[in-house]
A and B are shown apart, each in its own frame.
Chain A
Amino acid sequence: MGEIKIDRVIDARGSHCPGPLMELIKAIKQAGVGEVIAVYSSDSGSKTDIPLWVKKAGHELIGVYEREGYTEFVVRKKR
């Protein structure tokens, strides 16, 4: 995924809907503009919930990566 530096990793594996989304929202609130956050989630709901929220909240979804048993979402705080 190129040279994107991840500032913070949230491991929300094992947490259920809407846990990973809530953890991401919390982390985004604490982060500075421009920071990149990676969220690991094993919850199926995250696959739609996280991209939808990121778009609605005006942040940038850098990528969604299928890993072994979980999905990694990489998000940049834009505002």
Chain B
Amino acid sequence: MSEKLSIIVFSGTVDKLYPVAILASGAAALGMDVEIFLTFWGLNAFRKDMVKGNMRISKDFEEMAPTVMQVFKEKNVPHWFDMLKQAKEMGNVKVYACAMTYDLFGMKKEDLVDIIDGVVGVGEFLEKAKESQITLFI
């Protein structure tokens, strides 16, 4: 059985979506399977109308947002979403939408970016995640 990293993504701020993309890329490069479960603000960040224009960073560091964005631009850091897409092309990375968030906010498949592999309930995700060596909540 291959090694697996599972990430529950609750946050929708750019400073937390970057670690998700970087960890997924690293794991994919190392040949690990990756399962990502997007819930609440995490899923919101994967809406087509949110994904690229999102400039929010965590409230604690709010005043740093312009600096962070500036540094990323200057250092040519790719967009977190593009990194995640690349990770998907490179390895076995699955991205799931939380069914409850999806239903509660009346989302439709076409509202979300095209890298979502399905809408799953918490039970199904836990079934998949329980074989992981590493599980993170971000």
Which residue numbers of A lie inside 8 Å of B, CB to CB?
14, 16-18, 21-22, 25-26, 49, 53, 56
A43 to B118 alpha-carbon distance, docked (Å): 35
Chain A interface main SS type: helix
Q: Does B59 belong to the interface (CB within 8 Å)?
A: no
Q: Closest approach, in angstroms, between the C-beta of A22 and any C-beta of chain B?
A: 5
Find B22's partner among A17, A26, A56 (CB 8 Å cutoff).
Answer: A17
Q: Is the CB of B77 within 8 A of A22?
A: no
Which residue numbers of B lie inside 8 Å of A, CB to CB?
22, 25-26, 29-30, 75-77, 86, 90
Chain B interface main SS type: helix
Q: Closest approach, in angstroms, between the C-beta of B66 and any C-beta of chain A?
A: 20
Q: Closest approach, in angstroms, between the C-beta of B132 and any C-beta of chain A?
A: 18
When A14-B76, A16-B75, A16-B77 are in contact, do A25 and B29 touch as well, CB less than 8 Å? yes
Q: Is the CB of B26 within 8 A of A21?
A: yes
Q: Is the CB of A18 within 8 A of B26?
A: yes
Q: Is the CB of B77 within 8 A of A18?
A: no
- Counting from the closest, the 8 A-B pairs by CB-CB distance are A18-B26, A22-B29, A25-B29, A18-B25, A16-B77, A21-B29, A18-B29, A14-B76
13 inter-chain pairs at a CB distance below 8 angstroms, sorted by A residue, are A14-B76, A16-B75, A16-B77, A18-B25, A18-B26, A18-B29, A21-B26, A21-B29, A22-B90, A26-B90, A53-B29, A53-B30, A56-B30
